[in-house]
Amino acid sequence: KRLPADARPLAGRHVIVTAGPTHEPIDPVRYIANRSSGRQGFAIAGALAALGARVTLVAGPVVLPTPAGVDRVDVETAREMAAAVDAALPADAAVMVAAVADWHVAAADQKIKKQPSGAPPALALAENPDILATLAASPRRPALVVGFAAETEQVLAHATAKRARKGADWIVANDVSGGKGESVMGGARNSVHIVTADGVESWPDLPKEAVATRLADRIAAALTA
Ligand code: CTP
Ligand code: CA
């Protein structure tokens, strides 16, 4: 059964979505990771595809099925994610949901061994490329660039500053401090604030799928305005 044309407002549009954590190797058997499950980003990719978009989902290491109608590119590190986003351009919109590691390690070629002295190894960290800021400043910038901000304090102040610093059109801000029962990272629900040039729109606490549907509708409205 075919959907009416207005149910597929993103037909002919390409959207890039990043999701999940990145893994940054320390040596051949160890890595730095974070608590992102990829759930919110995968739901957003699926919701955009349901509105007719061609969706490239650049996914860090997660255990989730690929949403229907979504083209998935699996990556491990932030640097691989940056390259995959670049390779997926051009796009009409980009939604950067991934919890990208801020640093990578100058990884050892061999497994790091304990020292008889008990001295722990020093990990030399170097900053990863900022995929969102790079894309927002790029000559191939999508018309709509959406970032996420996971904060544990001063959520709106940090998110507003982040929007300006990174050159995003919208920042979807959430409080990941936890303590209110189930935590956002890995959990099923999310309460977010949409920070735009026009101000802040606060949504109620919703299942991640519902946040995804609302955000996809808002993206469709912005791209077709
Ligand atoms: N992001 C990115 N590349 C990075 C780091 C972050 O694309 N190397 C994106 C995330 O996907 C998210 C947004 O930037 O959409 C904000 O990420 P966040 O970690 O909250 O911002 P940071 O600038 O890294 O600031 P913080 O010091 O708070 O971690
Ligand atoms: Ca960060």
Could you tell me which of 129, 132, 164 has the C-alpha nearest to residue 145? Answer: 132
Scanning the chain, the segments in alpha helix (DSSP H) are 39-50, 78-88, 131-136, 155-166, 208-224
34 annotated active-site:
yes
Indicate if the pLDDT at residue 207 is higher than 60. Answer: yes
Percent of the chain clearing pLDDT 70 (strictly above) = 96
Indicate if the pLDDT at residue 185 is higher than 80. Answer: no
pLDDT reported for residue 181: 47
CA quadruple 195, 199, 203, 205: dihedral positive or negative? positive
Centre of ligand 2 to C-alpha 57, Å, is 20
**Number of CB atoms found within 10 A of residue 168's CB:** 25
Average pLDDT of span 43-60: 98
Distance CA(126)–CA(73), nearest Å, equals: 25
Does this model's pTM top 0.90? yes
Instruction: Tell me what ipTM this predicted complex has.
Output: 0.98
Centre of ligand 2 to C-alpha 205, Å, is 23
- Nearest atom, ligand 1, residue 127 CA: 8
Average pLDDT of span 28-39: 95
pLDDT reported for residue 150: 87
pLDDT reported for residue 7: 83
**Number of CB atoms found within 10 A of residue 11's CB:** 12
Asked whether 185 and 37 are in contact (CB, 8 A), the reply is yes
Q: What is the pLDDT of residues 73-107, one digit of tens each?
A: 999 999 999 999 999 999 999 999 999 999 999 98
Q: Binning pLDDT at 50, 70 and 90, where does residue 58 land? A: very high
Q: What is the pLDDT of residues 123-142, one digit of tens each?
A: 999 999 999 999 999 999 99
